[in-house]
Structure 1
Amino acid sequence: MSSFLDRLTPTPLGYFASLVGDDDSIPLLEAAASIAQDEYPELDVQQVLGDVDQLLARLRRRTADMSDSLEKLRALNQFFFRDLGFGGNVNNYYDPDNSYLNAVLKTRRGIPISLAVLWLELAQGIDLKARGVNFPGHFMVKVNLPNGQVVIDPFSGQSLSREDLSERLEPYKRRNGLVDDFDVPVGLYLQPAPSREILARMLRNLKEIHRTQEDWLRLIAIQDRLLILLPDAWVEYRDRGLAWAEMGDARLAVQDLETYIEHTDDLLDREAINSRLAELRRALN
């Protein structure tokens, strides 16, 4: 029999929903840390926040006498990348733990976006004007300084010049036909990413890992979060429906795929999904 306290405690999904309801007040660190509750049901998210607060307190002591933003930025990068040893998990890039902040804090290894979320919390905690950047293929962070902007790769801690960024963009631009007359300036790829977009990118990284491993149960848990975060992302209904079909639950698969069909403008995909729906409906009869 559940206790009164148990009934008051929100589910991990309910907790996540309570954090991401309002665009203007999403607590990025807390919402990002809570993603790990699917994998670590006993995780105390407040403990994760407390661990980051302790790191911030140490950093603030180091930077207490600094007023210059560039000096603070150098101190932050020294502290985060060198003293604490945070960096990219080059040996096991596709390990889901790279996306779970509790694990990243423990191992000091992650992927660009999880490292960025921790770095941003520390940067903003010492009053740097730092933001995340949804750069194609590789999440970045940037800091606005009195004399310009510094873009940093959170995977390596390296500061990137405009030439470095242009070089990294080349394959993406070629793939998407953004060359010659269709080319756009690098600056357009450096727009600050809202918290909702950062969380969506974290979840989609995990979604891709689970899809590749055909881990449908974990993929569905990620889809549930994506649909709370982005209720109008109809393609996520499609993908969750297809995962339910793989799990053998035709009823839930039909429900999600019908929602997708009602809203999609992609006529070619609608045809393919209608064909899958017909199979699933036959399985239900």
Structure 2
Amino acid sequence: MAAPNTLPEWNALAALGDDELPLLDTALLIARDEYPDLEPGGYAAQMESYAETLRPQLDGDIDLPARLTAINRYLFEELGFAGNNLQYDDPRNSYLNEVVDRKLGIPISLAVVQIEVTRRLGMPLDGVSFPGHFLVRLPVDDGILVLDPYNKGRPVSAEELRERASPHMGGHPPDDQQLLQILAPATNRAILMRMLRNLKGLYLEQRDWERVARTADRLLKLSPGTAEAVRDRGLAYRELGYAKGAREDLARYLQMLPEAEDGEGVRAALVDLSGVPARVN
């Protein structure tokens, strides 16, 4: 864990285990790329303040679902955290400092707030990398309780989960075993990488090549063997005129995935770059 007003070093993260990565600190590290003056200590203190406010409400012999209901009421009704329906594609929804300041986010960033607060209260809430829409889960006596942080933490039934998953599985709803696999807890690394992929996707749509290169590079700091991040950084470098970096990344991508579906296009990009002189960037 970093000191209150410091954050971990990017180059140290790949060596950490998937759940050794500090979730809040690394999410703030992602945000600091966009907001270099960010003061991380204030956001950690904010999470602790939320937990301290909730502790008296959770005293007594109440079960986990009832405790979580109280937490969600506080976060989503009293504090007003909400999904940003009007500007879902606003990158600020993925930067945790903005999410806390504006009380607006997307499913995964709201889930990080929910997870950070509940874990401070000793509750085993985990993220779920559900297809299309990030969720959270809590173990209960008869199974798991799945909740939707984008919709004020409301419970999601097994039938609704099957319906949501179906379009991502060729139109076929998952059976019980498949659904359990989909609902497996997401590691901190998986959560942070999904946050970065969301940002990279937004910046690709905007053709903001500097930020595409940056988010792809950060993905590689978390997981150096991520082929799509190598490719996207290389393509961004090409657009930015950094031919040497583009050639290295695109060639590495083809080495990693020689049978890639987009291999022909990547090879064509490499041919186009073959005569471009290198320049320092």
Calculate the TM-score normalised by the size of structure 2. Answer: 0.90
Say if 2:62 is the partner of 1:96: no
CA distance in 1, matches of 2:274, 2:13: 37
Segments of structure 1 that go 5 or more residues without pairing to the other structure are 1-8
Matching residue of 1:172: 168
Which residue of the partner structure matches residue 71 of structure 2?
76
For residues 185-264 of structure 1, the aligned pairs below 5 Å read: 185-264=178-257
Q: Deviations over 1:141-178 (max 9, x none)?
A: 01112233210011002211101111111211226xx5
Kindly provide the CA deviation profile for residues 239-268 of structure 1, in whole angstroms up to 9, marking residues without a partner as x.
101101111121211121122122213255
Instruction: Sort the Cα spacing of 1:68 and 1:183 in 2 relative to 1 into closer, same or farther, 3 A.
Output: closer
Cα deviation for residue 64 of structure 1 reads 2.9
**Structure 2 gap segments, 5+ residues each:** none
Contact 2:162/2:179 (CA < 8 Å) preserved in 1? yes
Question: Is residue 48–residue 120 contact of structure 2 (8 Å, CA) maintained in 1?
Answer: no
Matches of 1:114 and 1:267, distance apart in 2: 31
Secondary structure (helix, strand or coil) at the match of 2:139 reads strand
**Equivalent position of 2:102 in the other structure:** 107
How many residue pairs match? The answer is 272
What's the RMSD between the two structures over aligned residues?
2.2
Q: 1:214 Cα shift?
A: 0.3
- Is residue 2:35 matched to residue 1:40? yes
User: What is the rounded CA distance, in whole Å, between the counterparts of 1:46 and 1:153 in structure 2?
Assistant: 28
Q: Say if 2:28 and 2:95, in contact at 8 Å, map to a contact too.
A: yes
Deviating more after overlay: 141-150 vs 240-249: 141-150
- 2:10 alignment partner, one of 9, 16, 22: 16
Amino acid at match of 1:16: W
Counterpart amino acid of 2:227? Answer: W
Percent identical pairs in the alignment equals 38
Distance in 1, matches of 2:176 and 2:46, equals 44
Question: In the superposition, relative to structure 1, how do residues 216 and 241 fare at CA in structure 2: closer, same or farther (>3 Å)?
Answer: same
In structure 1, C-alpha distance between the alignment counterparts of 2:178 and 2:267, rounded to whole Å: 41
Contact 1:87 1:108 in 2 (8 A): yes
**Deviation at 1:120?**
0.6
Describe the SS at the equivalent of 1:155. Answer: helix
Is contact 2:162-2:173 (8 Å) kept?
A: no
Q: TM-score, normalised by structure 1?
A: 0.89
Is contact 1:129–1:143 with CA below 8 Å preserved after alignment? yes
In the alignment, is the contact (CA less than 8 A) between 1:153 and 1:160 conserved in 2?
Answer: yes
- The whole-number CA distance in structure 2 between the counterparts of 1:86 and 1:179 is 31
Amino acid at match of 1:149: I
Which structure has more helix as a fraction of its residues? 1
Aligned to 2:147: 152
Q: In 1, distance between residues paired with 2:244 and 2:14?
A: 29
Distance in 2, matches of 1:268 and 1:102, equals 37
